Chain A
Amino acid sequence: MISVYHYLVLSAILFSLGVIGVLTRRNAIVLFMCVELMLNAVNLSFIALSSHLGNMDGQVFVFFIMTVAAAEAAVGLALMIAFYRNRESIDVEDFSLLKW
């Protein structure tokens, strides 16, 4: 039988993959996709626990996470387009305006 722990371990591995991606890549859009990967790992553990505990609340939370992810995608990509217009690049190494 597949227990809830299987799903939690899978979600942990996916989340770590997302973290490694955010820390190693330079392209801002790929960074963005890695953040989406982390959000999805969290969604998986929410739904696994919700299904295990026999409670709907976790799945409603996933719904709100999806809403926030959609809003984040719209605003984030608009920011990237605005940045690309100024610098002709979306490499995070060029995002250094506020760097001390």
Chain B
Amino acid sequence: MDLLQQLFFYLVALVTLVSGFLVIRCKNPINSAISLVMTFFCLAVFYVMLHAPFMAAVQIMVYAGAIMVLIMFVIMLLNLGSEVVGRYRHAVTGALVAGGLLLLQLLILVKQGGVSPTVGTINAQTVEAVGHTELIGFAMFTDFLLPFEIASILLLVAIVGAVVLAKREV
């Protein structure tokens, strides 16, 4: 059972990394977008494995559904073809060096800084007994009520901003 779980984790991790690599490597933006959808689905699988089924559902609906449809729509609307010219070679080398250094830093950070042992009360059993949605809702409407309201104002501002920016004449 444990071995199977590990094998599954590594399989999904491999798919995540390959599709993540394809996002930055594909010449055609449409192919990048489809790889990104694949990455989002793999992350939803991880959320289920981490006992967060509601976040997995939201991940698929909001990210793989709404945001990616919006991006695909814009790509097709602008009729973008494949990129003809890439960046200069020294820019790519610099980017690889910067990204590699960042990865090294993050790995050292993960390796050196220990994660504290479990402190909270919520574990897989509570999530199953109470329900994940209820737990999230309780946290959001008690401790995080003000950020929740601010998020709704942020969305309103984004709607107005998008309409004003995309309109030809205001």
A residues whose Cβ falls under 8 Å from a Cβ of B = 1-2, 4-10, 12-21, 23-27, 29-30, 32-34, 36-37, 40, 43-44, 47-57, 59-60, 62-64, 66-75, 77-82, 84-85, 90-91
Given contacts A20-B96, A36-B36, A64-B151, contact A74 B158 (CB under 8 A): yes
A66–B140 Cα distance when bound, in Å, is 14
- Is the CB–CB distance between A30 and B95 below 8 Å? no
- Is the CB–CB distance between B24 and A25 below 8 Å? yes
The binding surface of chain B is classed by DSSP as helix
- Is the CB–CB distance between B71 and A33 below 8 Å? yes
Q: Size of chain B's interface in residues, with CB distance under 8 A?
A: 84
- Is the CB–CB distance between B51 and A51 below 8 Å? yes
Chain B nearest CB, measured from A90 CB (Å): 7
A36–B16 Cα distance when bound, in Å, is 14
Contacts A33-B23, A78-B165 known; list 20 others, CB within 8 Å. Answer: A7-B46, A8-B115, A13-B20, A13-B103, A14-B16, A29-B29, A33-B71, A37-B20, A40-B40, A40-B43, A56-B136, A60-B136, A60-B144, A63-B136, A63-B140, A66-B58, A73-B70, A74-B70, A75-B162, A90-B80
- Is the CB–CB distance between B43 and A43 below 8 Å? yes
Chain B residues near A44: list those with CB within 8 A.
43, 46
B residues whose Cβ falls under 8 Å from a Cβ of A = 2, 5-6, 9, 13, 16-17, 20-21, 23-24, 29, 32-33, 36, 39-40, 43, 46-47, 49-52, 55, 58-59, 62-63, 66-67, 70-71, 74-75, 77-78, 80, 83, 85-87, 91-92, 94-96, 98-100, 102-103, 106-107, 109-110, 115-116, 118-123, 135-136, 138-140, 143-144, 147, 151, 154-155, 157-159, 161-163, 165-166, 168
